Amino acid sequence: MLKIKPVVISGREVLPIVEGGKGIGVTSGVTSGAFAAAGAVGTFSGVNADSMDENGNLVDYVYKGATRKERHEELIDLSIKGALYQAKTAYEISGGKGRIHMNILWEMGGAERVLHGVLEKAKGMINGVTCGAGMPYRIAEIAEHYKVYYYPIVSSMRAFRALWKRAYHKMSNFLGAVVYEDPWLAGGHNGLSNSEDPAKPEDPFPRVSELRRFMNEVGLSHIPIIMAGGVWALKDWENWLDNPEIGPIAFQFGTRPILTKESPVSDEWKKKLLTLKNGDVYLNRFSPTGFYSSAVENDFIRELQGREERQIPYLIEPHGELVVPFPVGPRKRPVYVTAEDKEKAEFWLAKGFDEAMKTPDSTLIFVTKDKSEQIRFDQIDCMGCLSACRFSNWSTNENFSTGKKTDPRSYCIQKTLQKVVHGNDVENQLMFSGHNAYKFSEDPFYANGFIPTVQQLVDRIMTGE
């Protein structure tokens, strides 16, 4: 029998099980409320969260602003309303049990404004804030102000050390736990640093014990670590339990809770999860945030791979081997490519990939006319959901621009994540997933397409399976 001990999270003893927050809307008030009601920690996503009208119908994010700055303001307003709606729902469903956290992406546009807007009005309903993607230095200050716990998500001891030394050591009263997210296995965005090889996954144990050693050194031995990424059955983590090298520990589940009755994703998404094989989920670099991310291979990912493959370098003036003129754009102005690349380009043109688009790395990619129109339309339609977007060059700085060229090798994450969670097209939209998703088809718990409730999933996890 496994000794799975309760742990103190956000000021209360709870089961050491945390629902990993998932945007956009994949974790909600309903899912997080159910985790809390089961005595665990639920995490709704505060990233462009949905709200409902008085009749219980989804309020569509319809933007009236003519500029992306105006639409960005609308997005922030809608996000605050949505997150408040989800917090209230979670609180009601929880019945006062467990803990409720809100997840935000530090690199989302207006993250701090959304946090202030929500925490100001959600007193007593939100116990903690988890913060992924980026370096959330200022979260400590905001959390302290509203007296909620904060949970930075890091993928190495070094990242936490930097946060601690620069900011958190001054305000550690509300540090709830440190979430270690395995950058090779977790679903969603992955915090791989330049020194880590995406093709060489590292054992989380030495990395987490290194984090614990640092935490012990700075007086945080009592603060739990939450292990996220690649956690399926706790029996596989037996040597992490009651181990002084790891200290107080809880486990975060991102992918498993997508397949529950409460999960708002479509039946198609749930069915797809039940059929995945090992290798169907892998790291890619297409996200407009610039981070690595992990998603299910589908037509959406294959199309992005195609753009990457149908790519050649070019120069504005002939130089070296790039001396063969190649006409580009409506005015057919020539750029210069190698003779070999010109042949490749002509082959793609003949196959119908007849629009050449320039990238910020002085390359051309080849796409169909429809695709190029969609790319341009999505770039123009931008509503500034990120702090800096490589796809549209939107930025929340004073110029509202990264100053770089737009990058057609990426995509509008806002659009596709809204579509995948509200629709049923699991082939042509982005479906983030953890690398362990293939275990759905191997784990007898899910035999014959069984989909548990959150309570059943929590009970199952507590058996160690």
Rounded distance between C-alpha atoms, residue 258 and residue 402, angstroms: 34
Name the segment binding ligand FMN (CB under 6 A); options: 85-93, 247-255, 329-337, 395-403. 247-255
Residue 408: how many other CB atoms lie within 10 Å: 23
DSSP string, 409-457: TS--HHHHHHHHHHS---SSS--B--GGGGGGGT-GGGGGG----HHHH
- Closest CB 287 distance from ligand SF4, rounded Å: 9
Question: Minimum CB separation from ligand FMN for residue 27, in Å?
Answer: 8
- Does position 254 interact with ligand FMN (CB under 6 A)? The reply is yes
CB of 44 to ligand FMN, least distance (A): 10
Pull the structure tokens for residue 342: 């010109």
188 binds ligand FMN (CB under 6 A): yes
Q: Annotate each residue in 374-413 with x if it binds ligand FMN (CB under 6 A) or - if it does not, as one string.
A: ----------------------------------------
Strand residues in 289-395 grouped as ranges (E): 292-296, 311-313, 324-328, 333-337, 355-358, 363-367
Q: Residue 103 binds which entry of ligand FMN, ligand SF4, none, with Cβ cut-offs from 5 to 8 Å by kind?
A: ligand FMN
**Tokens 């980026």 belong to which residue?**
134
Binding site for ligand SF4 (CB under 6 A): 288, 382-386, 389, 391-392, 394, 412-414
Q: How far apart are CA 252 and CA 226, in angstroms?
A: 6
Q: Closest Cα partner for 4 from 286, 242, 190, 257? A: 242
Whichever of 94 and 130 has its CB closer to ligand FMN, that residue is 130
Residue 186 C-beta: closest distance to ligand FMN, Å: 4
Q: Which of 296, 436, 440, 457 lies at the binding interface for ligand FMN (CB under 6 A)?
A: 436
Q: Which two tokens stand for residue 175?
A: 């540090």
Quick one: which of 82, 132, 176, 452 contacts ligand FMN (CB under 6 A)?
Answer: 132
Partner residues linked to 312 by β-bridges: 364
What pairing do the DSSP bridges indicate for beta strands 17-19 and 249-253?
A: parallel
Q: Which does 47 bind (CB under 5 to 8 A by kind): ligand FMN, ligand SF4, none?
A: ligand FMN
Residue 188 Cβ, how far from ligand FMN at the closest point, in Å?
3
21 sits near ligand FMN (criterion: CB under 6 A): yes
DSSP state of 67: S
Closest separation in Å from C-beta 11 to ligand SF4: 35
Q: Please say whether the beta carbons of 254 and 274 come within 8 A.
A: no
Which of 80-102 are b and which e, b meaning 16 or more Cβ less than 10 Å from the residue's Cβ?
Answer: bbbbbbbbbbbbebbeebbbbbb
Single out the residue of 334, 375, 331 nearest to residue 353, CA to CA.
375
98 binds ligand FMN (CB under 6 A): no
Residue 432's binding partner among ligand SF4, ligand FMN, none (Cβ under 5 to 8 angstroms by kind) is: ligand FMN
Q: 3 and 464 in contact (C-beta within 8 Å)?
A: no
Interface segment toward ligand FMN; rule CB under 6 A; list 2-10, 65-73, 77-85, 227-235: 227-235
Residue 186 within binding range of ligand FMN, rule CB under 6 A: yes
Nearer to ligand FMN, 325 or 423 (CB): 423
The interface partner of residue 110, options being ligand FMN, ligand SF4, none and the CB cut-off 5 to 8 Å by kind, is none
Closest CB to ligand FMN: residue number: 254
Q: Could you list the beta-strand ranges (E) of 55-206.
A: 99-105, 128-132, 149-154, 178-181, 188-190
Distance from first CA to last CA of the chain, Å, rounded?
A: 11
State both tokens at 376: 């341009």
Closer residue to ligand FMN in complex, CB, 265/304: 265
> What minimum distance in Å lies between the beta carbon of 394 and ligand SF4?
4
Least distance (Å) from ligand FMN to the CB of residue 102? 11
Q: Could you say whether residue 45 binds ligand FMN (CB under 6 A)? A: yes
263 binds ligand FMN (CB under 6 A): no
Phi, psi dihedral angles at 86 (to 5 degrees): -65, -40
Given the rule CB under 6 A, which residues bind ligand FMN?
A: 20-23, 26, 45, 47, 103, 105, 132, 153, 181, 185-188, 228-231, 252-255, 432-434, 436
